Copies of this chain bind each other. A is one copy, B any other.
């Protein structure tokens, strides 16, 4: 049963009032493929000051905090940790992104982690699009979550 749909099929924010406050963690990943030219500029940018990856990291962290403004039925949560890891990969000409979110609350941090990944990768796209528009953001998924009634999930 889709928990966001009531008996009439109308969207509702799931009632979590009676859920326990527990420590929760979620980790999501994703990747952006770009031209070798774009990637080499990202990398050379890194030695100068790493603007692309540094800016994407900040954008992703800020997006984590605003997830409930973007995703209509998400609950507002008090994030206790948000981290964005960005790993350029020359072989596949891509940048891999992983976002880890922790919080203590009544509902999980999955959407926050996925939103952090999405916005970090969109920021890389934005900063590289002058070089080449042939970029693809892909494989955004939940890697792991823990805490709360449903317990641990690890991407199989």
Residues in A lying within 8 Å of B, measured CB to CB: 1-6, 8-17, 19, 23, 30, 41-42, 45-46, 48-52, 54-55, 57-59, 61-66, 68-85, 102-106, 110-111, 114-115, 118-119, 122-123, 125-131, 133-142, 145, 153, 155-156
Contact = CB atoms under 8 A, between A and B. Distances in A.
Contacts of A131: 1-2
A52 B10 CA distance: 9
Give the number of times this chain occurs in the complex, counting copies.
6
B9 A45 contact: yes
A15 B111 CA distance: 18
Contacts of A110: 129, 133
Main SS class of interface, A:
mixed
B2 A130 contact: yes
A106 B127 contact: no
